[in-house]
């Protein structure tokens, strides 16, 4: 423990962001780095708990108290080694993770938790600046060949671990670029693509092969995977969006969030997309349906494109500002989350159900909604009831549906491989991460449902252990 009185002396500080007026005029990352002395004080707040609950909260089991202490003591090399020991891509989680570790930090019982995520990012940024993060190709090759389907964080983490174990790894990605949701879902202003490309460059130098436009089950037959590779990892994500099946849904101007975000991400990367194929909020009255993280990413994009107005509607009630009695520490705190995009503008409203859309000449012009309340159905289940007389309508030229995801695509690859699914429609796996088909493994959102980057990385690592054990009889992978 660096400074025994640190948590008494120093308060948690707020992440610095670029000024709103400046950042909404471009697509660059909004988060600013913290000055080193501020970070060291934040690291000094860590109490080095006998039972560090932050470990419990982190799916990767990051050795958090160690790096907090090392940062406080200005020992960045040691901090970077500790960080990379459990996390393949700390720059992704350091930038994008909602930090479940902070939700379970012991300091959070009666004070603000340690700024674990910001410290993580500072360590990895420092390590890149110093040239400490280098390709680590294996010394010996096993001769075994593994294919990873999907290049999101789960597939990338598994590929790196399997390559380090000495196997030849090929990643098949159906998109034209590598990265999964890090590439085409998450907007530039949250994490610039250069951060992803820097890591991909290292993975290539370590010997991992990437094949883009390789859609397994469509232009790459599943038999080829069985024929060419000793093990197969399915890391294709949970990409089926939840739809809003109300009258008027077919009108033009109503889009899934991922259709919208992907196009802007492509433009940000320099692709020439003609206006008629692009979805823009410029000069429009926009409604985003869904109050979660994907909705917030749409909101930030809408601001930058220059909308006239934007509303974000959520069907659930507004979350509380502080933990409720039924949500005690160290559980993940269910709180109202205000992201950078919310600070930039727009109106958030809760307990709203959209009942229909109306328009003219096949284009949406109005959204019709009603306020709802949560009631018990008499059997202990909670259900939504419309509040009589609360019906309303409003102008809307662009509607973005950001209501979550229903799991992986079941046709194509999964259907052809014949893997068993869970009741929720995700890919079933055993405790070694193997599906019902021998030699075929799975990790990430494909088996968990839409989740978080930190879970995807953690599961990619675990699945790599399962694959290595099945190929070699035992594993030394962490």
Which residues are near ligand FAD by CB under 6 A?
96-97, 149-155, 172-175, 180-181, 185-186, 190, 214-217, 235-237, 261, 293-294, 297, 412-413, 444-446, 450-454, 456
Give just the sign of the alpha carbon dihedral 278, 282, 284, 289.
positive
# residues contacting ligand SF4 (CB under 6 A): 15
Instruction: Identify the burial level of 389 via C-beta atoms within 10 angstroms of its C-beta, where 0-12 means exposed, 13-18 middle and 19 or more buried.
Output: exposed
Q: Is 261 in the site for ligand SF4 (CB under 6 A)?
A: no
Q: Which of 30, 31, 54, 286 binds ligand SF4 (CB under 6 A)?
A: 54
Looking at residues 55 to 114 of the shown chain, list those that interact with ligand SF4 (rule: CB under 6 A). Answer: 64-65, 68, 105-107, 114
- Where would I find the H helices in 207-277? 222-228, 257-268
- Where would I find the H helices in 231-374? 257-268, 293-305, 340-343
116 binds, among ligand SF4, ligand FAD, none (CB under 5 to 8 A by kind): ligand SF4
Element housing 462 (H / E) = helix 453-472
Encoded tokens for 91: 């720059």
Nearest distance in Å: CB 195, ligand FAD: 13
152 binds, among ligand FAD, ligand SF4, none (CB under 5 to 8 A by kind): ligand FAD
Phi-psi region of 142 (alpha: psi -120 to 50; beta: other; left: phi over 0): alpha
For the CA atoms of 342, 348, 350, 355, the dihedral, rounded to the nearest 10 degrees, stands at -130
Q: Is 49 in the site for ligand SF4 (CB under 6 A)?
A: yes
Q: Which of 116, 154, 261, 279 binds ligand SF4 (CB under 6 A)?
A: 116
Nearest distance in Å: CB 89, ligand FAD: 11
Binding segment for ligand SF4 (CB under 6 A), chosen from 29-37, 47-55, 205-213, 420-428, is 47-55
DSSP string, 371-419: EEEEEE-SSS-EEEEE-TT--EEEE-SEEEE---B--S--TTHHHHHT-
* Rounded CA separation 312/298 (Å): 9
Closer residue to ligand SF4, CB minimum distance, 3 or 348: 3
181 binds, among ligand SF4, ligand FAD, none (CB under 5 to 8 A by kind): ligand FAD
47 binds, among ligand FAD, ligand SF4, none (CB under 5 to 8 A by kind): ligand SF4
CA-closest candidate to residue 182, choices 165, 164, 195 = 195
Closer residue to ligand SF4, CB minimum distance, 58 or 234: 58
Residues at the contact surface with ligand SF4, assessed by CB under 6 A:
46-49, 52-54, 64-65, 68, 105-107, 114, 116
């Amino acid at each position: 423990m660096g400074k025994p009185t640190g948590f008494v002396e120093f308060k948690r500080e707020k992440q610095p962001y670029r000024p709103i007026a400046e950042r909404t005029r471009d697509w660059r990352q909004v988060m600013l780095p913290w000055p080193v002395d501020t970070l060291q004080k934040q690291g000094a707040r860590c109490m080095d708990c006998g039972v560090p609950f932050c470990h419990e909260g982190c799916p990767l089991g990051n050795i958090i108290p160690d790096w907090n202490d090392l940062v406080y003591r200005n020992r960045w090399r040691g901090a970077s080694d500790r960080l990379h020991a459990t996390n393949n891509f700390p720059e992704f989680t350091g930038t994008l993770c909602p930090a479940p570790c902070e939700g379970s930090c012991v300091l959070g019982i009666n004070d603000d938790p340690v700024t674990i995520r910001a410290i993580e990012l500072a360590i990895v940024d420092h390590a890149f600046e110093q040239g400490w993060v280098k390709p680590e190709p294996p010394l010996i090759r096993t001769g075994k060949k593994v294919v990873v389907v999907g290049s999101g964080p789960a597939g990338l983490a598994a590929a790196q671990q399997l390559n380090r174990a000495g196997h030849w790894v090929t990643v098949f990605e159906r998109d034209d670029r590598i990265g999964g949701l890090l590439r085409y879902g998450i907007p530039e202003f949250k994490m610039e693509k250069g951060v992803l490309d820097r890591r991909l460059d290292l993975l290539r130098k370590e010997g991992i092969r990437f094949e883009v436009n390789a859609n397994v089950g469509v232009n790459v037959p599943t038999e080829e995977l069985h024929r060419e590779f000793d093990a197969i990892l399915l890391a294709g994500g949970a990409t089926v969006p939840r739809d809003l099946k109300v009258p008027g849904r077919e009108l033009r101007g109503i889009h899934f969030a991922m259709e919208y975000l992907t196009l802007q991400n492509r433009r940000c990367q320099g692709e020439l997309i003609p206006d008629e194929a692009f979805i823009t909020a410029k000069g429009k009255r926009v409604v985003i349906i869904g109050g979660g993280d994907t909705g917030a990413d749409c909101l930030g994009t809408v601001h930058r494109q220059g909308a006239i107005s934007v509303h974000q509607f959520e069907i659930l009630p507004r979350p509380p500002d502080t933990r409720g009695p039924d949500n005690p520490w160290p559980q993940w705190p269910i709180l109202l989350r205000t992201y950078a995009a919310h600070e930039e503008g727009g109106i958030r409203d809760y307990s709203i159900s959209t009942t229909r859309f109306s328009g003219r000449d096949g284009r949406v012009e109005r959204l019709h909604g009603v306020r709802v309340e949560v009631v018990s159905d008499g059997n202990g289940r909670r259900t939504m009831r419309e509040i009589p007389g609360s019906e309303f309508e409003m102008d809307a030229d662009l509607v973005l549906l950001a209501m979550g995801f229903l799991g992986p695509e079941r046709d194509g690859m999964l259907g052809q491989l014949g893997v068993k699914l869970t009741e929720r429609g995700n890919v079933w796996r055993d405790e070694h991460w193997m599906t019902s088909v021998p030699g075929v493994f799975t990790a990430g959102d494909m088996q968990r449902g839409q989740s978080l980057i930190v879970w995807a990385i953690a599961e990619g690592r675990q699945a790599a252990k399962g694959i290595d054990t099945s190929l070699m009889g035992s594993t030394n992978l962490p």
